[in-house]
Structure 1
C-alpha cells in the first residue's frame, strides 16, 4: 500500500516545478503588457487578451481534458502537457503578429488547465498519508513562488532584453521540467477514469460544492482588486511607481509564507483554514482605502493580503481531498472555476474601476469575500472531519 512506500519527494518537486512555470506563464504578460503592445502595435486593452485567452481555455481544459484522455497514465499526461507548454512558449516568442501570439497563448491555456486538474490530486499517491500535507504545501508552493520569483524575474528579463526572450526562456525551463516529470514520476494510471457524468456528480457533493463556490468568490474578488494593485499602491498609498515592482516581490514572499502556514493548519484543521481565507481578505481589502493611505500602512496591508491569498490553493485542495468522492474529478472542477474566475475577476474589476473608482472596486471585491465567508460559516464543519469550538 502507499503508506508503506518511501515518499517520492523528487516527483513532488517536479510537479511543483510544473505548477510554478504554468502560473508564471499565465501571469507573465501582466508585467510585459506595455512592451508587447508597443512591439505588435495593439492597444493595452487588446494586449490584455494575452491573460484572458489562456485563462478561459484553461478553465475549460481542466474538466474536459481528463475526460478526453480517459485511462492515459498521468505521468505521460503531465509530461505531454509540459511539452505543449514548451511549444506554446516558443511560438509566443516567435510570433510575428498578435493573432499568432494569441494562438500560441491558447496552447499554454490547454496546458494550464489540464495540468492543474491532475496535479492537485497526486500528493496522496506520491507520499505516505502522514506526509500528504507537506507534499501539498510543496506542490502548491509553486503558485506563490511564481508570484515572488517567476513573474518578477520574467518581467525583469523582458525589461533587460525583450518580451520574446522572456517567453523563450520560459519554454526552455518547461522542456527541462518535462524531462524531470518523465524521469521522476512513477507510473500513475488513473484510479477511476474521469467522465462528464462523474464531474457533474462531484458538484452534488456538499463539501465539493462549497469548496468550488468559495474558490469562485475568493478568486473573482481577489483579481477584481489585485489586477489594479499598481495604481492602488500609487494613488491610495502614495508609493512611487518605481517601488511597486519590489513590493510585489515582497507580496509574493508573503504568499510563500502563507502557503507554508496554511499547509500546516489545513492538514489538521481544513475547515478553519478555509474559513480564515475570505474572512481575512474581507478585512484587509475593505480596510485598504481607509487605512492604507500611507506608504507604511499600505505595504503592511499588502503583505497580509499576499500571505492570505497565498494560502488559497493548499487550503481548499486539502478540503477537496477530505470531501470529494473522486479527488481528480473534483480537482478538475476546481481548476475550471479557479482559472475562469481569474479572467472574470479582472473583467469585473475593470468595469467597476471605469464606472467608479479604485476604493469602490476594493469594496466590491470585499462583498465577494463576505459571501465566501458566509458560505463556509453556514457549512457544517463535520463534512471535513472537524468540529467547531
Structure 2
C-alpha cells in the first residue's frame, strides 16, 4: 500500500471524527452556551451545509491548483474551522465554525479519491479509494467515542482542539507522503462542468441521494430506537454506535475488491441488501442480540454503497473527474439531511420508533431503481470509435477506473 494512502486515511479519520462527534456532545454544548438541545442540533446541520456548498465551490475554485497542494490547503481550512469551533464564545460563532469546518469535506474527498485512484495500477483503484474511506469508518469506531468521552470530561472545546491537532498531523503527512500528480491535458473548470453534466454522472449522484438516505433515515434515530424499543440503557448507545462503525469498516474492506471486479453488480447488490436489512431490522430491533447483529450488518451494507458510487461518477467523468467526485459528497450529505428528515416525519406522524426502518428501505429501493435504470441506459450508449466497450470483467469500458497518471514527488 502506498504510504500516501495512509496520509489520506489519517485526513479522513480527522474529518470523520469532527463530522459525527457533535451528535454526542449536543447536551454539553447546549448547557455551556445556554441553549436547548434541539437548537444545538442545528450544529449538525451547519456542518452538512458546509459540505454541500463547499464541495462544488472549492473544487471549482481549485480546478487549476496542483492536487497535492489542494489537499494540504483543504486540510488547513478544516483545521482552522475546528480551531474556530473550539474558541467560539457564542452559539452563532460556533455555527460559523462548523460551517467553515464542513466546507473542505466534500472537496477533500473528491480530490483525494482521484489522487488515490492514480497512486495504484489499473484494476486496484477502487481498493485504493476504499482504503482512504477506511479512515472515515475507523473514526466511528475509535475517534468519535474517544472524542465524545474527552468532551464530556474536559469540555466540548477540548474535543475540537484535539481534532485541530489531527488536522495539523494530516497536513504534515500529506505534504511529506503524497506525490505530485499532474493534471490531464486540457483539464480545467470548463471540462469539469461538462463532465458533471453527463447523464450517467447525474444519475449516479441521484442514486447516492436516495440510496444513502436509506442509511441515515435509520442511523439518525438509532440511539432512540435502541433505548426506546430494544431496551438498552443510554450508557450502551456508544457501544451500539461503535458496532455500526465496525460494520462500516467491514463494508469498506469488502467493497473495494468487489468494485474493482464488477462495479455495477456491486452497487446493485449493496442497495438490494440494504433494503432487505432495513426491512429485517423492523423485526430484529425487538430482540437485543438480533438488533446488535443487524446494526453491524446495516453498517456494512450501507457503507458498501459508497465505493461503487464514488468510482461510478469518477469513471463516467473520467477526463475531468474531480468536480463529479466532490459533488458525490454533496449528494451523500443531502442524503444525510433528507433521510433524517423523512425518518423524523414518520416518527412524528405516530408510526412508531421503528418506522424509519421501512422509510429507509423504501429509499434504498428507489436508489436501486435509479441505479438499474442508469445501467440499462448505459447499455444503449454507442460504442466508442476505438472499438468494443465490453471488457473482460464483464463491465463496460465506461465503468472502468481512470488510468493512473504519471506521478512525481
Same structural fold, with TM-score higher than 0.5 when normalized by the shorter chain? yes
Q: How does 1:106-121 map to 2 (within 5 A)?
A: 106-121=99-114
Matched, 1:36 2:32: no
Q: Residue 290 of structure 1: CA displacement?
A: 2.1
Offset at 1:321?
3.8
Q: Secondary structure of 1:310's partner?
A: helix
Aligned residue pairs: how many?
A: 380
2:387 aligned with 1:377: no
Residue 219 (structure 1) aligns with = 212
Distance 1:346 1:374 in 2: 21
Worse-matched range after superposition: 172-181 or 270-279: 270-279
How far apart in 1 are the matches of 2:237 and 2:63? 45
Q: Per the alignment, do residues 193 and 340 of structure 1 end up closer, same or farther by CA in structure 2, a change over 3 Å counting?
A: farther
| 248, 252, 257: which one aligns with 2:250 | 257
Structure 1 unmatched ranges of 5 or more: 1-6
- Cα RMSD for the two superposed structures: 2.1
Q: Which moved more, 1:340-349 or 1:117-126?
A: 340-349
CA offset digits 1:181-215 (Å, max 9, x no partner): 11111223433544267335434232x23321111
For 1:196 and 1:239, the matched residues in 2 are separated by: 53
| Pairwise CA distance, 1:319 | 2.5
Q: Is the CA contact 1:67–1:196 (under 8 Å) kept in the aligned structure 2?
A: no
- C-alpha separation between the residues in 1 aligned to 2:48 and 2:340? 11
d(CA) in 1 for partners of 2:187 and 2:77? 22
Instruction: Return the alpha-carbon distance in structure 2 between the equivalents of residues 43 and 102 of structure 1.
Output: 14
8 Å Cα contact 2:195/2:317 also seen in 1: no
2:87, 2:323 → 1: CA distance?
36
Following TM superposition, by how much is the alpha carbon of 1:374 offset from its aligned partner in structure 2, in angstroms?
A: 1.9
Cross-structure match for 1:339: 333
Q: CA deviation at 1:98?
A: 0.6
Whether 1:171 aligns to 2:155 is no
Q: Distance in 2 between matches of 1:377 and 1:174?
A: 39
The match for 2:407 is none
Aligned partner of residue 212 in structure 2, secondary structure: helix
Q: Please report how far the alpha carbon of residue 245 of structure 1 lies from its aligned counterpart in structure 2 after TM superposition.
A: 0.9
Is 1:198 the counterpart of 2:189? The answer is no
Deviations 1:153-199 (A, max 9, x none): 11121122211111100001101111111111122343354426733
> C-alpha distance in 2, partners of 1:360/1:298?
15
Match of 1:364 in 2: 359
Aligned twin of 2:94 = 101
Give the conservation status (yes or no) of the 8 Å contact 2:150–2:159.
Answer: yes
In 1: Cα distance, 2:136 partner to 2:190 partner: 27
Cα distance 1:131–1:290, how it changes in 2: closer, same or farther (>3 A)? closer
**1:352 lines up with 2:346 in the alignment:** yes
- Would the aligned equivalents of 2:342 and 2:359 in 1 still touch at CA under 8 Å? no
Whole-Å Cα distance in 2 between the matches of residues 254 and 70 of structure 1? 35
- Among 144, 160, 164, the alignment partner of 2:137 is 144
Contact 1:238 1:295 (C-alpha < 8 Å) held by counterparts? yes
The CA distance in 1 between the partners of 2:191 and 2:249, in whole Å, is 36
Q: Measure, in 1, the Cα distance between the counterparts of 2:139 and 2:40.
A: 21
The answer for the alignment partner of 1:317 in structure 2 is: 310
* 1:273-321 residue CA offsets vs partner (Å, 9 max, x unmatched): 1112221111111222223211011111111101112223222223234
**TM-score for both structures, normalised by structure 1:** 0.91
CA distance in 2, matches of 1:101, 1:115: 22
Q: 1:127 aligns with which of 120, 139, 143?
A: 120
8 Å CA contact 1:258–1:308 kept in 2: the answer is yes
Instruction: Determine the C-alpha separation between the residues in 1 that align with 2:366 and 2:190.
Output: 28
Q: TM-score, normalised by structure 2?
A: 0.87
**After superposition, what is the alpha-carbon deviation per residue over 1:35-56, rounded to whole angstroms, capped at 9, x for unaligned?**
1111111111111111111211
Distance 1:217 1:203 in 2: 19
Q: Secondary structure at the match of 1:250?
A: helix
For 1:131 and 1:264, the matched residues in 2 are separated by: 8
Kept in 1: contact 2:50–2:98 (CA 8 A): no
Cα offset, 1:372, TM superposition: 1.1
How much has 1:343 moved relative to structure 2?
2.4
* Cα pair 2:124 2:257 within 8 Å, conserved: no
Compute the displacement of 1:26 (Å).
1.3
